[in-house]
Amino acid sequence: MFGLMQDRPLLISSLLTHAERYHPASEIVSVPCEGPVVRTDWAGIARRARQMAQALQRMGVKPGDRVATLAWNTHRHLELYYAVAGIGAVLHTVNPRLYPEQIDYILNHGGAEVLLFDLPFLPLVDAQMDKLPTLRHAVVMTDAAHMPAGRDDLVCYETVLAAEDGALVWPSFDERQASGLCYTSGTTGNPKGVLYSHRSTVLHAFLCCAADGLHLSRADATLLAVPLFHVNAWGIPYASAMCGAKLVLPGLKLDGQSLYDLARAEGCTLSLGVPTVWIGLFKYLDEAGIDPATLPFERVLIGGSAAPRALLRRFHEAGVHAFQAWGMSETSPVATVATLLPHQQALGLDGKLDVLTRQGRAMFGVELKIVGEDGQELPQDGSASGELKVRGPWVTSGYYGGVGGQVLDADGWFATGDVARIDTEGFVTLTDRAKDVIKSGGEWISSIDLENAALGHPAVEAAAVIGVYHEKWQERPLMLVVRKRDTAPEPAEIRAVLEDKVAHWWLPDAIVFVDSLPLTATGKLDKKAMRAVWKDYLATA
Ligand code: ADP
């Protein structure tokens, strides 16, 4: 017998309708690429999203069609999040930091007929245009005053928006309809598309607003330091409408000074971003002689790659509760969140950091397990380590267009490609990505632990550990270190810090100083690029 409750679909448009009705004056602050700052609110976003939805329909966009963006964090990009999904089309956010060939592949594979982009990407779009046979409309996300002269082939965002009256009623449809498309960075093989649904997106938004989730609420003013093209900015654009939080969109400026100034000016309580962004923020504060205690944040979520202990410590010493979450494009992305349990609240800072350097515990809806190389489930005892598998209503069941074939096992588990331990309380500790694992004489060495330890040395700005060829052990760790400006530590000093923290046989065979480390398009250490350069270092050194 079925229950007798209403079967109302969970639609993305309902988030915006709610924000417009209950939080109309909650502010949205945006720094468009061509400046100056735009101040609007949820009522303004809702009105303009309806106008833009009408404009898209006028361009011929129908349910199921993909609409692509190459854009930074601005109010216009936020409007598209709702305008596109609201009419049943699919928002395909493309990462503009990828190589042009990857962008070309991703745009073609997504098959969008409409592409909207920020002005700085005009040269990129011009170079791609003739490689995109499906493209019918190229829309510049700017106003008439900033439109490139003499370009009849381009459409102006503000002009087409202004031509509509906004009298659109969001259509209702099946909550399982696709709403968004993001491609994984494709560090192995071609990028693969993850296709989100309205249902998965709304359920994920509840998790962001849950107290033991990301705890987003109406009381927050969130500085979005994670790009809208990086896994839906971790779900915050949707969750912010759900709870009516103020949202601050920094445009293309994610450097330390811009983030600090904007956060202070707007009284931001929360921010989210990858470790590189926060390392850049502290670098700015240190060089400018600014006391980190002047940061306005109450909370900072660090994700995308492991949050270094030294970084978490700096935030906590400044009175900011920094914590981390783990996830991936395939998990919408948040799957685990590191929240202190009641018995951990009273711990001193070091004890708390022991908890917060882990990737966290599964939220309701997410199931986790680890398996050994034979595929058998391993105990969650804090010491066994294996590949992490995940299952849940905001976890992918396959890639767009069937790429990669069947990705779930017979019981519906998705293999993440991450290697982890899970302790008896359910805390996940990630040790590596499977493809970055360092296997020395058949035993695994955690690059994350080694990097974390190195970052504990005050002169280390960045550190990366990769496995390189070794005659006897097949692979041994090599550590690449970027030193802070005006410091000159010797390898032995860094080694001494590591010796305190990790098993002796884990110690890198060499510590090499470099000027910078290559990053991926999502701001993570690009170990594939490092291995290409350094793979024979020990054999030839
Ligand atoms: P990309 O491949 O573009 O980086 P994702 O953003 O989907 O794509 O990356 C997901 C991966 O990032 C995860 O599989 C994991 O390896 C890593 N990751 C995400 N969050 C964390 C975290 N808190 N700690 C360690 N690694 C993380």
Q: Which of 305, 448, 449 to mutate to test ligand 1, by most ligand atoms within 8 A of the CB atom?
A: 305
CATH of the domain at 533: 3.30.300.30
Q: Which of 98, 418, 422, 465 to mutate to test ligand 1, by most ligand atoms within 8 A of the CB atom?
A: 418
Distance 304 CA to ligand 1 centre (A): 4
Exposed/middle/buried for residue 514 (C-beta within 10 Å: 0-12, 13-18, 19+): middle
Q: Whose CA is nearest to atom 12 of ligand 1?
A: 304
Q: Is residue 16 part of a domain?
A: yes
- How far apart, in whole angstroms, are the C-alpha atoms of residue 539 and residue 535? 9
DSSP state of 148: P
Active site residue 283: no
Q: Is 95 in the pocket of ligand 1 (CB under 6 A)?
A: no
Q: Which of 69, 74, 93, 184 is catalytic?
A: 184
Q: Is 430 in the pocket of ligand 1 (CB under 6 A)?
A: yes
Tokens of 272: 């989210």
Q: Is residue 168 part of a domain?
A: yes
User: CB–CB of 464/530 below 8 Å?
Assistant: yes
For the entire predicted model, the pTM comes to 0.95
Q: Whose CA is nearest to atom 8 of ligand 1?
A: 184
Q: Is residue 115 part of a domain?
A: yes
Q: Is 231 in the pocket of ligand 1 (CB under 6 A)?
A: yes
Q: Whose CA is nearest to atom 10 of ligand 1?
A: 328
Active site residue 158: no
Tens-level pLDDT at each residue, the chain (541 residues):
999 999 999 999 999 999 999 999 999 999 999 989 999 999 999 999 999 999 999 999 999 999 999 999 999 999 999 999 999 999 999 999 998 989 999 999 999 999 999 999 999 999 988 889 899 999 999 999 999 999 999 999 999 999 999 999 999 999 999 999 999 976 556 789 999 999 999 999 999 999 999 999 999 999 999 999 999 999 999 999 999 999 999 999 999 999 999 999 999 999 999 999 999 999 999 999 999 999 999 999 999 999 999 999 999 999 999 999 999 999 999 999 999 999 999 999 999 999 999 999 999 999 999 999 999 999 999 999 999 999 999 999 999 999 989 999 999 999 999 999 999 999 999 999 888 889 888 888 999 999 999 999 999 999 999 999 999 999 999 999 999 989 999 999 999 999 989 999 999 999 999 999 999 999 999 999 999 999 999 987 6
Sheet of 178-183: strand order equals: 154-156, 137-140, 114-117, 66-70, 90-93, 178-183, 193-197
Q: Is 359 in the pocket of ligand 1 (CB under 6 A)?
A: yes
- Among 148, 179, 197, the domain-final residue is 197
Q: Is 304 in the pocket of ligand 1 (CB under 6 A)?
A: yes
Active site residue 298: no
Distance 380 CA to ligand 1 centre (A): 21
Distance 438 CA to ligand 1 centre (A): 17
Full residue range of the structural domain in which residue 479 is found: 436-541
- Among 180, 197, 214, the domain-final residue is 197
pLDDT of residue 415: 96
Distance 231 CA to ligand 1 centre (A): 10
Exposed/middle/buried for residue 317 (C-beta within 10 Å: 0-12, 13-18, 19+): exposed
Q: Is residue 231 part of a domain?
A: no
Q: Whose CA is nearest to atom 9 of ligand 1?
A: 328
Q: Whose CA is nearest to atom 14 of ligand 1?
A: 328
Q: Which of 79, 330, 451, 475 is catalytic?
A: 330
- Among 197, 225, 245, the domain-final residue is 197
Q: Is residue 378 part of a domain?
A: no
Q: Which helix (H) or strand (E) holds 493?
A: helix 491-501
Report CA 408 to chain centroid distance, whole Å: 23
Atom of ligand 1 nearest to the CA of 324: 23
Q: Which helix (H) or strand (E) holds 143?
A: none
DSSP state of 519: B
Q: Which of 131, 444, 461, 535 is catalytic?
A: 444
Report CA 258 to chain centroid distance, whole Å: 19
Residue recorded with tokens 């010797």 = 490
> What is the DSSP track for 302-329?
E-SS---HHHHHHHHHTT-EEEEEEE-G
Number of separate domains in the chain: 2
Q: Is residue 442 part of a domain?
A: yes
Q: Is residue 80 part of a domain?
A: yes
Q: Is 328 in the pocket of ligand 1 (CB under 6 A)?
A: yes
Distance 328 CA to ligand 1 centre (A): 5
Q: Is 253 in the pocket of ligand 1 (CB under 6 A)?
A: no
Q: Is 184 in the pocket of ligand 1 (CB under 6 A)?
A: yes
pLDDT of residue 188: 57
Active site residue 444: yes
Helix axes 309-317, 275-288, angle to 10 degrees: 50
Distance 45 CA to ligand 1 centre (A): 30
SS3 479: strand
Tokens of 158: 């503000």
Residue recorded with tokens 């202990």 = 309
User: CB–CB of 445/468 below 8 Å?
Assistant: no
DSSP state of 338: -
Q: Is residue 380 part of a domain?
A: no
